[in-house]
Structure 1
Amino acid sequence: MLAAPNAARAQGLGRAEVRRQAAALAEVGRRLFFDPRLSASGTLACASCHDPAHAFGPPDGAAVRLGGADGVTPGLRAVPSLKYLQDVPAFTEHYRTPEDEGDESIDNGPTGGLTWDGRVDGQREQARVPLFSPFEMGNASAADLGARLERAGYGAQLRAAVAGGQADVLDLALRALDAFQQDGPTFHPYTSKYDAYLAGKATLTDEEARGLAAFEDPARGNCASCHISRRGNDGTPPHFTDYGLIAIGVPRNRDIPANADPAYFDEGLCGPLRTDFTGQPDYCGRFRTPTLRNVALRQVFMHNGAFHTLEQVMEFYAERDSDPGKWYPRDGKGGVLKFDDLPAAHQAAINMEPPFGRRPGEAPALNERDIHDIIAFLGTLTDGWSATKTAGP
């Protein structure tokens, strides 16, 4: 956001001035976030895809959004939420938790970073991605965007917010967008029923409690192995993600125009949008585990928007391996084209831990009631819960 306290002191800034600049930058960042003039088409704002009414995620069930200089160029991936990103660690290929440090035998694999493939670190750099993406806001260059910012009057506002600061309007705009996204009450309020439950101020219903038990059970949902549901050792609330990148073999979504080309594959960590791990099968198909906070507000799920309800998501987890013909196309020879959104040579990383790993025809790890109960529990993760509500999470 702003300079660190020591750096701020080195610049001669007192605490009051640091707070003033942070507040002023955040306010300009809020205006930038909702302003379509930042896009080459003049029609797309950050909020067009990251809707505050849907936890700063997509406003509807469209698999991908339309953007670019013409305003109608389709994207490649579903829109992730911008909430609860403040503690995402920088990307690392080999991750160890603080508790694991010193034990070289423990390696949690690729972890951290922002965007679906973890290719940028920090929300300032994340904000840069859509501004210049050819299928998002479509700015051709830094000079082009800088000129837009100046014409819209943001240059003067940004320089006034950071009195005596650097004059590069694009860098100031990125700082402002970052500052806006650090606002706790807006982006990480921890006001869900589950937060109240952890604080001893709410009681889960029977189905919500059963759902939490199935969510955490390693032999059933095993959801908490990636979507951590317990407080941290320092007492911090759970973010319902371990920030890892994992391959689960989601079916190909033929509603994405790019997928009309049978030679095109979105392989996440190993390309095409990220290039430093291209062609490494152990990393292909891996996408970052999103937070499940506010997941009940979404209408499109997974990196490719293949599913549109939580029921579909949970049934896929339960039946991917026990009933693959339900989720993947037939090959015309009586077989199933399992994991059809990855080349066969790049399927080594696909996760086989529970609830996956069943054989075709076996009973799934999750039954119908488990699925119903887990979805009820996921409803407790929606922000804005109040004890005065008579229904809903």
Structure 2
Amino acid sequence: MTRAEARRQAEQLAALGRALFFDPSLSGSGKLACSSCHDPARGFGPANARAVQLGGGDLQQAGVRAVPSLKYLQAVPPFTEHFHDSEDEADESIDTGPTGGLTWDGRVDRGAAQAAIPLLSDFEMGNRDEAEVARRVLAAGHGKAIAAIAGPKGADRAATDPATVYKTALKALEVYQQDYRTFYPYSSKYDAVLAGKAELTSAEARGLDLFNAPDKGNCASCHISKRGNDGTPPQFTDYGLIALAVPRNPDIPANNDPAYFDLGLCGPLRTDFLKRAEYCGLFRTPTLRNVALRQTFFHNGVMHSLRDAVRFYVERETRPERWYPRKADGSIDRYDDLPEAAKANVSMDPPFDRKAGEAPALTAAEIDDVVAFLGTLTDGYEPAK
């Protein structure tokens, strides 16, 4: 294949992927598209404040996790249990542990594999198997595009072979999500500031300082705010998996069963680490780009305001009574969305290194400043001329 042919095929795949992304007829209900949960106007995250979305053939099946954003996934590394992070690329002495993967639990590395999850999920798009996805793709009229991508030699097979149709559809969705103008434009106010084309307000500048300060928010320890060593824009994540012990969310129907726990890296959706106790409760750190567009926060969507999300970080240990329920004996049920054995995995790094009754690392006014700064990470900023 020549370079021109490869470019043309990539353009065809991207066009098909975009059409598939916005096509609800690929779902069992005929009403749920990828874009239904990944709204472009919301940073390709959910358009509503539901903790989990409804799907399946009757659009009444509740998910178990909050819908993540699909933006800025292009630099996420493949999942590894041992990620070596160092300013000196030749020094691999710093093992930061489980890192990477495209989902909350890091179980897939490629966009095509990620796209398959909702297509085949009982509580999302509700297709029984790959063949049903292929049938819906062809019934929706995408066969001509698939045949064109396959070329003259493969057109007949592409139009009739379910496996080829399915594989091409997943590849198309992957290629569409590699469009930098749509999925990683780096067009926020903060990007303009880094380029010398804008200035932070006083509140935003204070918020950035608090965000970075190890003895205050310490947010940048996981949500890296500096450019990469190669000059690339900050991704606002280290891609690591961490146990934050956010409160259990009663709005998730699965949580009605007191024996049910979503433990992220050690299951139940991810199955290869089910017996790795040290991985229970760990979820991947998402980018904070476009976080101000969200109406639900954390893997279980338990928070519904960005201010509460920031406040949780500094009050989880200092004011646990605000975030966790009481047990029958009146004591606080700390880390109530984790079984007892998994509580040892909870991060105690700053600002979680304080005790109940101590002053939080951030005051109310400082939380407001951090939130103001986070608002500068929304794409679509246009500098004043």
> TM-score normalized by structure 1?
0.94
Matches within 5 A, 1:145-164: 145-163=133-151, 164=153
Give the Cα separation in 2 of the matches to 1:54 and 1:249.
Answer: 26
1:320-366 CA deviation, whole Å, 9 max, x = no partner?
A: 00010110000121210000000011112110011112111000111
2:377 to 358, 381, 388: 381
In the alignment, is residue 69 of structure 1 matched against residue 65 of structure 2? no
- Quick check: 2:52–2:62 contact (8 Å CA) kept in 1? yes
Partner residue in 1 for 2:66 = 78
Give the Cα separation in 1 of the matches to 2:342 and 2:187.
Answer: 41
Matches within 5 A, 1:319-338: 319-338=315-334
Give the Cα separation in 1 of the matches to 2:66 and 2:384.
Answer: 34
Judged with a 3 Å threshold, the aligned counterparts in structure 2 of structure 1 residues 346 and 379 are, in CA distance, closer, same or farther, namely: same
Opposite residue 148 of structure 2, the aligned amino acid is A
Partner residue in 1 for 2:349 = 353
Superposition RMSD in Å:
1.3
Partner residue in 2 for 1:215 = 211
Partner residue in 2 for 1:131 = 119
Partner residue in 2 for 1:198 = 194
% of aligned pairs identical?
Answer: 63
Give the Cα separation in 2 of the matches to 1:296 and 1:330.
Answer: 31
1:37-91 CA deviation, whole Å, 9 max, x = no partner?
A: 1111111100000001100000010000011122210000000000000111100
Partner residue in 2 for 1:371 = 367
| Unpaired runs of at least 5, structure 1 | 1-12
In the alignment, is residue 108 of structure 1 matched against residue 96 of structure 2? yes
Partner residue in 2 for 1:22 = 10
1:268 to 242, 255, 264: 264
Partner residue in 1 for 2:161 = none
2:166 to 145, 167, 170: 170
Matches within 5 A, 1:37-48: 37-48=25-36
- Quick check: 2:85–2:94 contact (8 Å CA) kept in 1? no
1:208-241 CA deviation, whole Å, 9 max, x = no partner?
A: 1100000000111000000000000000001100
Give the Cα separation in 1 of the matches to 2:330 and 2:252.
Answer: 26
Partner residue in 2 for 1:10 = none
In the alignment, is residue 31 of structure 1 matched against residue 16 of structure 2? no
Give the Cα separation in 2 of the matches to 1:339 and 1:96.
Answer: 29
Q: Give the match's secondary structure for 1:146.
A: helix
Partner residue in 1 for 2:245 = 249
Aligned length in residues? 377
Partner residue in 1 for 2:304 = 308
In the alignment, is residue 60 of structure 1 matched against residue 48 of structure 2? yes
Partner residue in 2 for 1:299 = 295
Give the Cα separation in 2 of the matches to 1:42 and 1:100.
Answer: 51
Measure how far apart 1:277 and its partner are.
Answer: 1.2
1:184-220 CA deviation, whole Å, 9 max, x = no partner?
A: 1111111100001111111111111100000000111
Task: State the 4+ residue runs in structure 1 displaced beyond 6 angstroms.
Answer: none
1:292-330 CA deviation, whole Å, 9 max, x = no partner?
A: 000000000000000000111011111000010110000
- Quick check: 1:100–1:106 contact (8 Å CA) kept in 2? no
Partner residue in 1 for 2:76 = 88
Partner residue in 2 for 1:4 = none
> TM-score normalized by structure 2?
0.95
- Quick check: 1:56–1:81 contact (8 Å CA) kept in 2? yes
Measure how far apart 1:278 and its partner are.
Answer: 1.1
Q: Give the match's secondary structure for 2:344.
A: coil
Partner residue in 1 for 2:273 = 277
- Quick check: 1:281–1:347 contact (8 Å CA) kept in 2? no
Opposite residue 108 of structure 2, the aligned amino acid is V
Q: Give the match's secondary structure for 2:369.
A: helix
- Quick check: 2:84–2:93 contact (8 Å CA) kept in 1? no
- Quick check: 2:223–2:238 contact (8 Å CA) kept in 1? yes
Measure how far apart 1:161 and its partner are.
Answer: 2.7
Opposite residue 327 of structure 1, the aligned amino acid is W
Measure how far apart 1:149 and its partner are.
Answer: 1.1
Moved more, 90-99 or 301-310: 90-99
Opposite residue 230 of structure 2, the aligned amino acid is D
Q: Give the match's secondary structure for 1:348.
A: helix
- Quick check: 2:243–2:346 contact (8 Å CA) kept in 1? yes
